[in-house]
Amino acid sequence: MGRQLMSIERQRSWALLFARLVLGLIFFMAGVWKVFQLGPLEHARKYFLPFADTFLPIWSLWLVGVTIPVVELIAGALVMIGLRVREALIALGGVLVIVTFGHLLREPLFNFSGHVIPRLALLLFLLWCPRENDWFSLDYVLVRRSVRPT
């Protein structure tokens, strides 16, 4: 009967896989560099302590500056493998909000088109799509395994 067209559900699952892999890699690799090469303390010192002259308390700059690399590393990995995707995406959304706030605090007309907006677009796409279409995720496999009759 010839080649069968790919179902819309399969197309969606491929779209979700590619979006997860790209977004997960972006955050995971940033986390790898910040945790294992730069170091979380140096990340805070270099990128967050310059905001010490603002109304933000120094302790909050240290706390957030040290935490973000670890969140990017772990949540990026989880998004790539498709495990606890919603929770990981929410954590990464929080990172994007913090980064946006920081840039706007310094430069109210900051251009976000290069970094924040593409990441946010992928993140929103993944959050918006139904979980049951993410066939290539560990979340999907684990749910199917738990409902399978024994």
CA separation for the pair 58, 18 (Å, rounded): 39
Q: Structural domain boundaries of the chain?
A: 9-144
Instruction: Specify the DSSP class assigned to residue 45.
Output: I
pLDDT for the residue 95: 98
115 in helix, strand or coil? Answer: coil
SS3 content of the chain, % helix, strand, coil (to 5): 80, 0, 20
Q: What are phi and psi of 129, to 5 degrees?
A: -70, 145
* Residue of 93, 95, 98, 78 lying closest to 142 (CA atoms): 78
pLDDT for the residue 83: 98
pLDDT for the residue 149: 67
pLDDT for the residue 3: 53
Q: How many residues does the chain have?
A: 150
> What one-letter code names the amino acid at 41?
L
pLDDT by residue for the chain (150 residues), tens digit each? 445 667 999 999 999 999 999 999 999 999 999 999 999 999 999 999 999 999 999 999 999 999 999 999 999 999 999 999 999 999 999 999 999 999 899 888 888 778 899 999 999 999 999 999 999 999 999 998 888 765
Q: Are 55 and 6 in contact (CB under 8 A)?
A: no
